[in-house]
Amino acid sequence: MFYMLSCARRTGTLIIQLCPRATEPDREGGRKSIKAMSMHNIRLNGILPPVTTPFNDAGDVDFEGLSRNIKLYNETGLAGYVALGSNGEAAHLTADERARVVEAIKRAAAPGLTVVAGVNELSTRAAVEAARRASDAGADAALVITPYFYKSSMTSQALARHFEKVADHSPIPVLIYNVPQNTGVIIAPKTIASLATHPNIIGVKDSAGNFGAIAETIRLAPASFAVLTGNGSILYPSLMMG
């Protein structure tokens, strides 16, 4: 099924302009002062489809086919692309294949279109490394999934610590990815709103299909925080929320 990623906070143009900032631990394990990185203009309004990853008969990624698809999509008025999401079958790809997928999409995307790369690793350290690889491959932002293997330990506090640490060290802005139908883990609107105060966490893609939770996130989070829906069944009412 083809789900669309669309902004639920603004019906007009939403361009997030910010200095992505990262922190590094000092020798005592605390934070150094936040250092400004180069300016990013990240468009998150409109439709950013989750790009499917094409394979050939041998089971290898068809990078030429992927590039052809993106060039065709460029003609449809999309705002950008989400690589390595659930529909992109990132779980079936090697780290090298993931990087090459992002590179191929970025290279084929029309100028000005946003490329968001999924970060699907379950440990904080691995997620940081994946965000760095995504940045090196050309991604504009990282879509970071909730850890889920040890579900009983995924408290609000544990999830918050994970996303804070990833955002501290990611060279590109972070979007929280809430997709409980795949992970079995739900991140609450209150936790999302708390994370929204982090300077390098710029939004959430909520694919749970819970309109009430999206409305609560919009109510609690700062107006500058992008709230996006990844569930086509509630796309229209989400847009009507503002």
* Residues 6 or more apart whose Cβ sits within 8 Å of residue 129: 121
Predicted structure pTM score? 0.83
The amino acid sitting at 63 is F
Most distant CA atoms of the chain, gap in Å: 52
pLDDT in tens, 112-134: 999 999 999 999 999 999 999 99
205 belongs to the catalytic site: yes
The amino acid sitting at 56 is N
pLDDT in tens, 193-233: 999 999 999 999 999 988 899 999 999 999 999 999 888 77
Of 3.20.20.70, 2.170.190.11, 1.20.140.10, 3.40.220.10, the CATH number of 6-15+37-240 is 3.20.20.70
Given a cut of 80, whether residue 26 has pLDDT beyond it is no
Distance CA 195, CA 202 (A): 9
pLDDT in tens, 42-95: 888 889 999 999 999 999 999 999 999 999 999 999 999 999 998 999 999 999
